Structure 1
Amino acid sequence: MTNAMAEQEEEFISNRLLKRITGLKKEKGELLLQVEQEEEYMTNMLQKKLTQLQREKIDMENSLEQEQEYIVNKLQKQLESMKLQQQSQTNSPMMITTHHDGTPSPGPVSPIM
């Protein structure tokens, strides 16, 4: 094999390697772009989910607050009703007396304290 043929073969191998390197660099660039796009997509999806969870949390907190308010109001009404009942019993005491046949009969009573 002559010197010229050896140089020609070296040049051919060098060109083939340069093409391979160029192809790999291009593929690397495409992969980097794809990774960046996937990261951006994931970030956007996670941001949407976070926003949705924050809205759901606020809705649940509002619902809980309304339920607590309803319960407090209901209990206050019951307490007020019991106070009114107690006041009416204190203002008009009743005493139970017994008839000769053993049946109870209402009558005035002094309040128990």
Structure 2
Amino acid sequence: MIKITYVEHNGREHVIDVPRGATVMEGARDNGIPGIEADCGGACSCATCHAYIDSNWVGKLPAKEAMEADMLDFAYEPDPSRSRLTCQIKVNEALEGLILHMPERQA
């Protein structure tokens, strides 16, 4: 299990153990984390799992693929450098301690 910290827009933190191979979105959904709606279930066809990656982690994640970058245009207040769709981030050992922040609302 990999520890990931999900920070709600109001600052409340949730430190969750997420299984390797799951997505960051699945970790939030399966643990009832507020702020990740995941309407499409991880198909990268909506932007309701949008989150801002903590600035210390941005460079440690794999680059966005074109489909994710396009879908982020539909996210609420996307940040060009920090916004990611959590359904597109696979959990592995390199993500131990990842911190992400929820937007005020989802699109």
Higher Cα Rg: structure 1 or 2? 1
Higher helix share: 1
Structure 2 length normalisation: TM-score? 0.17
Higher strand share: 2
